[in-house]
Each structure stands twice: as structure tokens, then as C-alpha cells.
Structure 1
Amino acid sequence: MDYQLPRGISQRNGILYLSFSVQGERYRESLGLPATKPNIKHAELRLQSIKYEISVGTFDYLKHFPNSRKAEKFRRNSGCSLLVADLLNDWLKRAKDHCAYSTLKGYASVINFHLIPRFGALTIDELTSLMVSDWLSDLKVSGKRKRNILIPLRQALSEAMHDGLIDRNPLLTIKSPKHKTREPKPFNKQEVRALLSAMEGVGRNFYWFAFETGLRTSELIGLRWEDVFIESKYIYVSRACVSGRIKETKTSSGTRNVPLSESALECLADQKEHATNEDGFVFFDPKSNKRWKTDQFPRKRIWKPAVEKAGVEYRNPYQTRHTYASKLLSKGENPLKVAHYMGHSDWGMIRKVYGRWIVDR
């Protein structure tokens, strides 16, 4: 049945809508109610209440229409009631649509362990650049880590400004902390021998192969026998284990062929004798015969004890990669080839990081 509707009340598809003006702009909101006689009377009273609140300056858009996207622009007029914690959590939900699992996991970690504990209870208009700057200066992590921690906050505040929730992004004046590239400290031949002598079985082969191929730990964990071409003397790197999941390499340059030295072939031959992993992974946890989920397990169970036993200066397992690169470059290998073997898109990183090992010819 069609009813005569009071001014400011309309219907669409049988649902009642209210129309009103706030600060010179016209708005139209659904009540979500069917156009019945009692509901029309309710709508009329509701509209009168809204107009009165607008006239005396007490109108709260969020209170009347909490699920409306238009209400967001009025948050700052009500003291910007949106908390930083809610802003970050909402941003994280949206990030699920376009971020890789490992990236999302990293964002969730910094939000829950760094950003929310420090700023979560503030409303977004209370957050200042000075607060963030002072907090950063006291944070005992690397410059690179600080930059990563700020990513979710920067992006969430940028979206808040775009949506009209704040007039200015307080992080715009904060420069990204400088990241100091750590000087490579490759192992020499004596140290490599001492380290490998302090290991045995699958664990020894795992790090032996790392020294001989320069693969990242995540790539070693993701390597399958189907990627190994013994007769042609190379391996095909196309997968990595990131946050417990096997995924394709991060970039197209990460997918590559890496040649196998005689020592690497010897390592694989020895590993074949231990290759009882039913999923086809070359390297695996010798206790469970299943692949490692992260690089933490081999580092803690194999690498650290071996470094201590060998009596060499402690360096993290990534130095196996530095050892591989520096060894090839010292022998006069073409830097472009080394860049390819290591999964870099060009040799700029090789030149920057390993410049003193490059032989002039």
C-alpha cells in the first residue's frame, strides 16, 4: 500500500529513508524499516529529533546511523572518537585482500606488540608526530625494523586523512629511520671446516649446501629433489618456506638456476643416503623426518651449538650466503652471474655489499 510521506521522508524498494541537511550539505540515510504506517510515524518523529539536534548543535551522526560510511566524516566533530587500536585493526582487515600471508603476519605482529600497546588507547586526533618520534628514539631495534613497524601506522593514518577523519597525517613529518647495511663477515676456509666438523647428518648437509650454493635458509627448506638436476649440475630455485608455508619466490629474479660445484654434488650424494622425507624435500628435520617450518629450528638446534663447539666467532646463518658470494667474486667470477645465482635482479646490490671482494680484470 502506498502512503503519503511527510516532507524529508522517502522510500525506495519499500524501505524508508530520511533526508536532512548538516552544515549546508544534504544527506539521505536508510532506516532499514519497511514503509508501513507505524514506521512512517516513527520516521517522522526520528526526523524531527534529528533536525532539533542539528539546530542546537548536538547532532551525533554516529549515534543515529552507526553503520553509515557517511558518518566517518563527522568523527572529528565529536572529538574523533576512533581509537588508534580500532583504526589499525580495521586497516589490517582490509589488508588481507592484497597482502601475502607472511606480510600480513608481520603487520599483525607489529600492530599487536608495538603499536597498540603504545598508542592504541589514544584517539587518532590525539596522536602527534612528537609522540611517535620520541617513542622511536627509545625503541631498541634497527632502523630497518623501525621502518617496518611504522608501515601499518603510516598507511592507516593516510587512509584516515583521505576519508576526512583527520586533517593531517602526523607521520608525514617523520622521516624513515636510516638503515645501516651490516658489513658482511664471511667465514674463511678454516672456519667453514670447523663448523661442518661440529655437525653431522642432515644438519651438516643442510649448512654444507648453504655454503656451496648461497641459498637463503627459506629456499633450502623449500628445495625438493625434483628441483635437483645432478647430471646437468644445477638446481632450480622456485620456492621458499615463509612463515611455515611453501610459496613461490618473492620476485621473478628469485626464480633461478644455481650451478652445483663438485663439493655441492658430494653433499647431495651424502644427503641421498639420509633422504627419507616422504614429501620429497631435500632437507628436513632429522628428528621428525618432516620439513622444517621456519629457519628458527635449524638455527637453534644445529647452527648455534655447532658455532659454539667449533669455537668460531658467532655470525648468523645468513653469513653462509655472504661466504658463497665473496668466494666466487674473489675467484674472479662475473658479478652479473653472481647476482643471478643469488636471486638479485641486477648486480647493484652485489657491487654495494661485496665491492671489496670483486676482482678487477
Structure 2
Amino acid sequence: MVRGHKGLTVRGDSIQIAFTYQGVRCRETIPRPPTQTLLKQLALKRQAILYEIKTGTFDYVKHFPDSKRAQQFRKSRPDLCTIGEALNAWFRRYWEDYERSTQRDYQSAIDHHLIPRFGSLPLADLTAIMVKEWLADLSCSNKRKNNILTPLRRTYEELYLNETLDKNPLERVKNPTATPREAHPFSEKEIELILNELTGQERNLIQFAFWSGLRTSELIALRWKDVDLEQGRIFVREAKVRGHLKGTKTISGSREVTLQPQAKDALISQRLFTGPLNNWVFHDSRTNDAWKNDQAIRKTVWTPALERAGVPYRNPYQTRHTFASMLLSRGGNPLWVAQQMGHKDWGQIRKVYGRWIQPHE
């Protein structure tokens, strides 16, 4: 031990600093020549460490970032972990609980948004105002902002409920209001122009989309076993997202849909191409196999047809809006239309399609 400097020991060309933390005798080596100046600095450092230990503010990693013992103590103090470490640990624990598409979305949010902005910050240092300011500068839709925020919310919620943290700053951060997709339905004339530019399986697919209200991901996951032409109905049970099958978006999304005449005609025509021995109803005619994703339909069928027809571009989701607006304009009961589209109640119908709902006497 160095005379006049309690807790410091010279070891060749290095100095060892000793202290007790959480009942453990700790020794950390400083690989620098033991000059008098350095000894005085380390004596002050040790005093600061002892004071922080006494007041409960000691951060081992801050003082000795390369120490193996520091990493061991960090495990016993998760609140001193970085946000990046906590996010990755949370995601590893719950990875198997999510569908593939959700796994990819959360991984993207963590890798491309949350860790670049907050990853190196200690968990306990995050504040609500930091998150609010970051959200305000984030250039994407409010719906996307909410999705990006979800892994961070769930990480902090778990740590707070487990009493690892004594506060959860995310509780004071409201989700930005996500406005529903605006409806720009096609007119019957536009539908006719688009369908006239299509033949065979492509025409059947798009005609069915206009008159069934299914999402594109549900269209490409439809199987012949879920089609009941005799009773004029289909059963929507799955969706295909990024090439992988998953359950419908919500519990109410799993539903029975009554076939409109035009939708039934499209299926009868499609049966000549893929039924009844094939599994999937709609095939990509270029490969004579099931569609892998909705992007392929957009690029090879939908966009070229609208261009040839001279119809202003709207995304394929607008076929769903078209279906709803047509039924409501003809006096369809909003509750029934909501059920046909897979909404749990008619609140969403009222928000998005209110101007097409016919008043009842």
C-alpha cells in the first residue's frame, strides 16, 4: 500500500485501487506508471467512489468501463444497463411470441431507430421529453411512429413492473394520433375500365378484390377449402405477409363473408384455372403458383392495369374502400358491412366511410 494513500498499491508499472462494493472487496488495476501526480488523482478518485457507494449513486461501469467485475455488477443492477442492451434482451426473451412480420418490424424499429437514438443512454437517464422531441422530429406517419415506439414501451413497462426501475418515463408519452387511411374509392366506370384491361386469372383476382372487401394479404392466402360457392360465402382465416402465413390481423378479422354476385362470378371463373385440386385460389399466372406477397401483384398486375386504363393511381387497398362504400351507398347496414370487412364494431366504418352511410327513415 502506498504511504499516505490508503487503498492504493503499486504493482510494477501500474497502480491498483481497492474498495468494497456490495460486500465484495474490489481491486482495479490502472496500467500507468505510478507518478506522484497520478497517485494523488487516484486517491481523489477513490474518495469519490467511496462517497458514491455510501450515497447509492456509484456506477461501476462509469469508473471502470473495461472491468470484468464491472460487467458482473451491471447484471445485478439492470437499471445501469444501456437502453440498447435492455431492448435487445427484451426482444430475445419475447421473440418467439410474435409473428414473423412483427418480428421483422420490431427488429427494424430497434436497429434503425431506437438504438441509433437512445442505445448508448443508461436506462435510468431516459426522460419523457427526450422521447417526445424525438417523435416530433421523426419523419414518418403517426402509425409508424407508434409501431417504432412499441419495443421501447414494452421494455420499460417490464422493467418498471419488475421493480428494476422506480419510474417509467413512457407512461407520460402519449401515442401520436394515427389517422385512418383516407378512402378514395373507385367509381363503377373506373372499375369497368380497369377490369377491361385484364384477362384470365389477373381479371378474376382484381374483380374479386373489388367485390369481396378482402385485404390483399387475405386474398393471396385464400384456399379453396374456405370457399363455399353453393352457399355463396367464403371463410377468411389467414393472411400472407412477406411470404409467411399468419392469422388474420384481429380476432374479428377471422370471418365469414357473403359473396356478392360479381365476387362469386370471379371465383367460378377462377376455378377453371386453379380449382378444385389446387390448394390456393389465386395464382401468379407467370409461375402458375401461389402469390408470394402483395408487392408482386402491385407491380405486375395492378399498376400496369391502371396505367393502360388511364385511371388515376390509388393503391390496391382502395379496392377494400370501394367495396365498403358501394355497399353503404346502396343502403347496407353499417354493422353488417363492418362484420364483412372484419372490424369488431362499426366505429371504424363510421370514421372512414361516414359520408357513404345512407340515413334510415
- Compute the TM-score of the two structures, normalised by the length of structure 1: 0.76
Deviations 1:83-103 (A, max 9, x none): 222211111111224333332
Determine helix, strand or coil for the equivalent of 1:96: helix
Deviation of residue 159 (structure 1)?
2.7
Deviations 1:65-112 (A, max 9, x none): 8568xx545355xxx3x2222211111111224333332222112112
Determine helix, strand or coil for the equivalent of 2:143: helix
- Letter of the 2:97 partner, please give it: H
CA distance in 1, matches of 2:126, 2:335: 47
The 1:297–1:96 alpha-carbon spacing in structure 2 relative to 1, beyond 3 Å, is same
Residue in 1 that maps onto 2:103: 104
Structure 2, unpaired ranges of 5+: 1-19, 28-45, 62-66
- Letter of the 2:119 partner, please give it: G
Alignment check: 8 A CA contact 1:213 1:260 kept: yes
Alignment check: 8 A CA contact 2:221 2:245 kept: yes
Residue in 2 that maps onto 1:293: 292
CA distance in 2, matches of 1:147, 1:60: 35
The 1:21–1:48 alpha-carbon spacing in structure 2 relative to 1, beyond 3 Å, is closer
Question: How many positions carry a matched residue from both structures?
Answer: 312
CA distance in 2, matches of 1:287, 1:195: 20
Deviation of residue 278 (structure 1)?
7.0
Determine helix, strand or coil for the equivalent of 1:324: helix
Residue in 2 that maps onto 1:321: 320
Residue in 2 that maps onto 1:343: 342
- Compute the TM-score of the two structures, normalised by the length of structure 2: 0.76
- Letter of the 2:353 partner, please give it: Y
Residue in 1 that maps onto 2:190: 191
The 1:278–1:122 alpha-carbon spacing in structure 2 relative to 1, beyond 3 Å, is farther
User: Root-mean-square deviation (CA), in Å?
Assistant: 3.0
Residue in 2 that maps onto 1:209: 208
Deviations 1:162-200 (A, max 9, x none): 455544333333221111223311100111111122233
Residue in 2 that maps onto 1:178: 177
Deviations 1:330-355 (A, max 9, x none): 11122222111111222222222222
CA distance in 2, matches of 1:182, 1:260: 25
Structure 1, unpaired ranges of 5+: 1-19, 28-46
The 1:276–1:331 alpha-carbon spacing in structure 2 relative to 1, beyond 3 Å, is closer
Deviation of residue 148 (structure 1)?
1.1
Residue in 1 that maps onto 2:352: 353
CA distance in 2, matches of 1:59, 1:203: 64
CA distance in 2, matches of 1:141, 1:204: 34
- Letter of the 2:205 partner, please give it: F
Deviations 1:232-291 (A, max 9, x none): 221122121133222332434222221222222221222123227975101122222222
List aligned pairs for 1:66-215, cutoff 5 A.
66=71, 72=75, 74=77, 80=80, 82-163=81-162, 166-215=165-214
Deviations 1:94-135 (A, max 9, x none): 122433333222211211222122222333344333332222
CA distance in 1, matches of 2:212, 2:169: 46
Deviation of residue 320 (structure 1)?
0.6
Deviation of residue 214 (structure 1)?
0.6
CA distance in 1, matches of 2:310, 2:296: 21
CA distance in 2, matches of 1:74, 1:266: 65
The 1:59–1:251 alpha-carbon spacing in structure 2 relative to 1, beyond 3 Å, is closer
Alignment check: 8 A CA contact 1:223 1:282 kept: yes
- Pick which of 277-286 and 151-160 moved more: 277-286
Residue in 2 that maps onto 1:245: 244
CA distance in 2, matches of 1:346, 1:139: 32
CA distance in 1, matches of 2:82, 2:358: 57
Deviations 1:302-360 (A, max 9, x none): 11222222222221111111111111111112222211111122222222222221112
Alignment check: 8 A CA contact 1:202 1:284 kept: yes
Identity of aligned residues (%): 45
